[in-house]
């Protein structure tokens, strides 16, 4: 999501520095947008950046920073003009995670994963050349970033990756030894067809955004449609799989009795957050209603 935004908003020096390494997969980035008091209402963020000569000094806290413990760079939103209307006093920075004053503290999730973190900034001195876009115009760079974050066809691909093994499992012989397959015992086998149909829809929604990008357009409400549909599909698919596999389906990875290495239990728990990450389903629907359908803001 950083690469395309750099192509649109970065200057020549910033593009030369970052794009080749992003394209080669040599660097990992994390996103420092959300704060304890700024999630859906992101523009109310409070992290501060104060200009000091050729540098800015950044102080504040971010939360839910996915992968911050592994990444090399972070793109961060900060407030540079506290007196301006909230969308107009924000600036966007790119920071090397090794900079002095950045601390990362993990947040442990209910399925024992450590996917995201709290990230603290204490007097972090960042060169002014690391600002992406104009001072106080960072909000517009941020919304572009979110369009790219929401656009990915990867969500449908992720559902496909957990759906295919379930199909293969369903075609295996059942335990009763009467020549019937597992699928013949399933009470809700038609749900497999529902997922197949929805996967096709989800893939096409993702491809539509990719097609727009190939024409130099940035999908906005189209990206929100793809994000909302595919993140909700990931939950439906996990729920259907758990129901099909019966009580054993709820066993965690590592259990000897867990079918398919417990991946559906893991996917059931991890997809709970899919409709929150990258903007909640309610936020996506607001965007679709407002920017896509032209309805007034609710």
Enumerate binding residues for ligand FAD (CB under 6 A): 30-34, 39-40, 64-66, 116, 273, 276-277, 279-280, 282-283, 286
Q: How far apart are CA 208 and CA 219, in angstroms?
A: 9
Q: Is 149 a catalytic residue?
A: yes
Catalytic residue among 13, 35, 55, 149: 149
Give the per-residue SS3 of 7-18. HHHCCHHHHHHH
Cα 250 versus chain centre, distance: 25
CB of 267 to ligand FAD, least distance (A): 13
Specify the residue, 39 or 174, whose C-beta has the smaller distance to ligand FAD: 39
User: Could you give phi then psi for residue 204, rounded to 5 degrees?
Assistant: -65, -40
CB of 285 to ligand FAD, least distance (A): 8
**CA atoms within 13 Å, Cβ hemisphere of 147:** 22
Specify the residue, 45 or 244, whose C-beta has the smaller distance to ligand FAD: 45
User: Could you give phi then psi for residue 251, rounded to 5 degrees?
Assistant: -80, 145
Specify the residue, 59 or 273, whose C-beta has the smaller distance to ligand FAD: 273
Specify the residue, 52 or 96, whose C-beta has the smaller distance to ligand FAD: 96
CB of 76 to ligand FAD, least distance (A): 9
CB of 144 to ligand FAD, least distance (A): 15
Cα 286 versus chain centre, distance: 18
Q: How far apart are CA 85 and CA 94, in angstroms?
A: 23
Specify the residue, 243 or 273, whose C-beta has the smaller distance to ligand FAD: 273
Specify the residue, 122 or 282, whose C-beta has the smaller distance to ligand FAD: 282
Q: How far apart are CA 278 and CA 178, in angstroms?
A: 48
Structure token digits, residue 4: 């395309």
CB of 235 to ligand FAD, least distance (A): 13
Pick from 202, 206, 207: nearest CA to 232? 202
Task: Give the CA angle between residues 201, 205, 210 to the nearest 5°.
Answer: 140
The residues pairing with 104 across neighbouring beta strands, listed in sequence order, are 119
CB of 78 to ligand FAD, least distance (A): 12
Instruction: Report which residue's Cβ sits closest to ligand FAD.
Output: 39
Spell out the residues 6+ positions from residue 229 whose beta carbon is closer than 8 angstroms to its own. Answer: 198, 201, 202, 205
The structure tokens 């060169």 sit at 127
Structure token digits, residue 129: 């050349």
What positions carry a catalytic annotation?
149
């Amino acid at each position: 999501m950083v690469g395309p935004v750099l192509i649109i908003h970065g200057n020549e020096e910033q593009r030369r520095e970052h794009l080749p390494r992003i394209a080669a997969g040599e660097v990992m980035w994390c996103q420092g947008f959300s704060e304890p008091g700024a999630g859906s209402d992101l523009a109310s963020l409070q992290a501060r950046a104060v200009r000091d000569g050729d540098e800015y000094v950044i102080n504040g806290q971010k939360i839910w920073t996915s992968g911050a413990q592994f990444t090399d760079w972070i793109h961060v939103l900060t407030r540079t003009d506290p007196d301006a209307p909230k969308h107009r006093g924000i600036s966007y920075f790119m920071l090397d995670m090794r900079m002095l004053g950045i601390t990362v503290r993990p947040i442990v999730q209910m399925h024992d994963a450590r996917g995201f973190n709290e990230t603290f900034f204490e007097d972090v001195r960042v060169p002014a050349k690391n600002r992406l876009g104009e001072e106080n115009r960072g909000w517009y760079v941020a919304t572009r970033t979110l369009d790219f974050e929401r656009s990915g066809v990867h969500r449908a691909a992720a559902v496909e990756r957990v759906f295919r093994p379930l199909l293969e499992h369903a075609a295996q012989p059942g335990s009763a030894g009467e020549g019937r397959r597992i699928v013949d015992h399933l009470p809700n086998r038609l749900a497999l067809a529902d997922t197949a149909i929805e996967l096709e829809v989800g893939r096409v929604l993702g491809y539509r955004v990719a097609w727009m990008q190939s024409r130099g357009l940035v999908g906005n409400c189209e990206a929100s449609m793809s994000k909302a549909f595919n993140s909700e599909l990931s939950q439906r698919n996990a729920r259907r799989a758990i129901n099909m596999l019966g009580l054993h389906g709820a066993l965690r990875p590592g259990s000897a009795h867990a079918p398919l290495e417990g991946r559906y239990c893991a996917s059931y728990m991890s997809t709970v957050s899919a409709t929150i990450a990258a903007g909640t389903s309610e936020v996506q629907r607001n965007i679709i209603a407002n920017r896509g359908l032209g309805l007034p803001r609710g």
